[in-house]
Structures are given as C-alpha cells and as structure tokens.
Amino acid sequence: MRWTTGVVFAVSVLMSQVCAWGGQEPVKRTRAEMEALIQKEGTTPPEWWDSVELRYPPMLDLNWPIKVDGPWDANVNVGQYLWDVINPNPDRWKEGIKLVNFLMNRHKDDRAKLARSTETLGRMYHDLMEDYARAVFWWRISAKYGGSVDSISLAHCYWKLGCREMAEETLSQVRSDRTRHGALIKLRADMGDFDKALQLAEQKAKAGSPTIAYLAAGHACRLAGRHQEALAYYRKALAGKDAKGREGDNKKGKERAQASIEAITLFDTLDVARVPDGTYTAESLAYAGPLCVEVAVEEGRILSVRVTKHEEKQFYGAMADTPAQIVARQGVKGVDAVTGATMTSEAILNATAKALAGGMQKADGR
C-alpha cells in the first residue's frame, strides 16, 4: 500500500515540527524549529514504509465500529487485534501502524472514526516507535476532529524533542496527577523537576492514592541518585492505605515497592569492576509477573543485558531501551524508565542490580 496523505493535506493548517530524541534534553529547539519538523515528518512516510506489507486477519472487521457488540476477538475486533497481537510483538509494530493508516483513509469521511484512528496513530508512534514528531502530528489532527489528546504525553513529546518551552506550556493545563500510574510525576522527574515531582506525589497521596504516588516519588528520587530518599518513599508506598485507585494496581504497587527496596539497597554498593567475567542471571517482578535478565560481564564492563523471560504484553520499548541504557551507563544508576512501560523498565533495572550483586558475591567467595 502507498503512503496516503489525503487527510493530512485536508488539515494542513495544523502542521508543525520537531526532531530526534535522546536522553535528558539532548538538543534544544526553538518553537519554529519544532513546528517545521513536525510538518516535515508528519507529511512524509517513515523510511521503513515501503518495506512493510499491509496485512491483517481475513476476518478482521475493517469497519472498526466505535462501539463493539459481542465478545472481544483479536481476529475480528481491530482494537483487540492491536492490543493482543500488535503491541506485544515489536516485529509487527510497523505493520500495525500501516494498518491503522489504511483504516484512517478508509474512514476519512467519518469524523468520529477519523478522530479515533489519528489518535491511535499518535499513540503508536509515541509508545511503540518513540517517533515523537509524528506522534504530535497525528495527535494534533485527532484534536481537530474532536479526539481526546493526553496533555502529559504531548508534553513528553515536546520535551524529548528538545523544546522545554512547549512542554511547560502544555503542562500548565495539568494541575495534578490523576493518572493511573503517576505519569505526570514521572515526566516532571524526567525533566529534572524533582521538587515539583515530589510535590505532585504528596498531592496525589493526600487525594487517596498513596501507594502509586509514593512509588512514583521513589522512582523520581532513584533517577536523581537520591537513593536514601527513594527507600523512604518506597517504604511509604508499602505502608500507604489507599482510598482511591484500582485494587489490583495498589496491590501490585506494594509488590513493586518491596522489589525496589530489595534492589535499591544494592545500588550504592555495586561495582562492575569487581564482577568476575561471566554471565549472571536474576529476576524481579514486572507488571504481569516475573521478568528474568541475563547480564554478561567481561574485564570489568557490562557487555550486554538481555531479557530472557517475561510475561509482559504492553512493554513498548522497554525491552530494548532499558538494557541499552544500562550498558551505556555501565550500571543501573540514572537509567530512565520507558514512558508507558515504567513497570517493565524498573523490573529490568532491579533484576540487573541483583544479577551484578550476585557476581560480586561470587568474587567475594560468598
């Protein structure tokens, strides 16, 4: 299928621009530079476009109704197909984006479906591909057609693309963190606003969600290298009594807090130079269950971190990005969790810390 831009040109008044992402504010871009890049990236196909085949189950309902009647079925329902088949399989992410683009053009005369498909494209470019310029592009179009756009995710794109001004402008509309897993707290920590992140966490805790709030605060402190404060927040997460939030999330939050406490006590004592050559394994709790890693060390350096077993379905870029950050930093300190997959990222970090600690114990004869 060819790249189609009929919808894009119909709303070209919305176009803008941004560029490559990286770690903590890797480049700085002006508003004009951002708008130019969003325009350029959004109106041209990704470089992989022509190499990816459009395919989908023969029974898939291409009408993609706004409300689905009957049981969910990944062979019939587009939403369930994306959730159960596309998202958990990185080698099919591009294929999924191409399918949604196809459906967008198929439903170009249906405002509600157009809003939904462009919002979905934005989310897939953001969560799966970490292609933040195209994510902004499609989210802006979705908003034009009445779709709901997550201000926190939009601000995250601006931040990753190097324009703090636009990120702050977008976040000015968000006064408190009402997200399921503390997304605003995490973004503020990623942006280096640790005091603001902790203020938001206290606010969320007082509003009835101390487990998730203090867990996010612990992650913020861990990112800043403030490990003793992180431990204190994780302990508060364990002790918190929640009046709000999903029961399952709160239970998992406490389990994650305990796992982080066990791992973070190792952070300051880890010394890769003291780890003998070899491959070390360990596991920690992720969202859906245990996650196992294999860490290869040679001549005092981490050669690789590989996830060998997991039960996650919605892990986005965490399986590749988090190990890559650990290798680049030669340790677990200061590694940023992947947005949308914080629990998977933290499990990889915690398991890696345990594996390296096991290597040090071997060197010490324990």
DSSP string, 283-300: EEE-SSSEEEEEEEEETT
Between strands 278-285 and 290-298, the pairing is: antiparallel
For the domain made up of 6-171, the CATH class stated in words is: mainly alpha
Residue pointed to by tokens 């989908």: 56
- Helix, strand or coil, per DSSP, at residue 18: coil
- CA torsion angle 18 20 22 28 (round to 10): -50
CATH number of 183-266: 1.25.40
pTM here? 0.84
Neighbours of 203 (CB within 10 A): 15
pLDDT at 26: 62
Cα angle 68-71-77, degrees, rounded to a multiple of 5: 50
- For the chain, how many residues are written? 366
For residue 208, CA distances in Å to 149, 214, 216, 241 come to: 25, 11, 14, 8
Nearest to 351 by CA among 281, 261, 269, 258: 281
Ordered by start, the domain boundaries in the chain are: 6-171, 183-266, 270-363
In the prediction, which pLDDT does 119 show? 97
Burial of 150 (0-12, 13-18, 19+ CB in 10 A): middle
Tokens of 345: 């990222």
Q: Distance (Å, rounded) from C-alpha 289 to C-alpha 243?
A: 25
Burial letters for 90-121: b for 16+ Cβ neighbours within 10 Å, e otherwise?
Answer: eebbbbbbbbbbbbbeebeeeeebbbbbbbbb
pLDDT tens digits in sequence order for the chain, 366 residues long: 345 444 433 333 333 333 332 344 468 999 999 999 999 999 999 999 999 999 999 999 999 999 988 788 999 999 999 999 999 899 999 999 999 999 999 999 999 999 999 999 999 999 999 999 999 999 999 999 999 889 999 999 999 999 999 999 999 989 999 999 999 999 999 999 999 999 999 999 999 999 999 999 998 998 888 989 999 999 999 999 999 988 888 888 898 899 889 888 887 788 899 999 999 999 998 888 899 999 999 999 999 999 999 988 777 788 888 999 999 999 998 888 877 778 888 889 999 999 999 988 876 665
Asked if 6-171 and 183-266 have one fold, the answer is yes
What pLDDT score does 294 carry? 95
> What CATH number has the domain spanning 270-363?
3.90.1010.20
Return the bridge partners of 301, or none: 298
Tokens for 205, please give them.
């805790």
H/E run at residue 301: strand 301-309
pLDDT for the residue numbered 211: 95
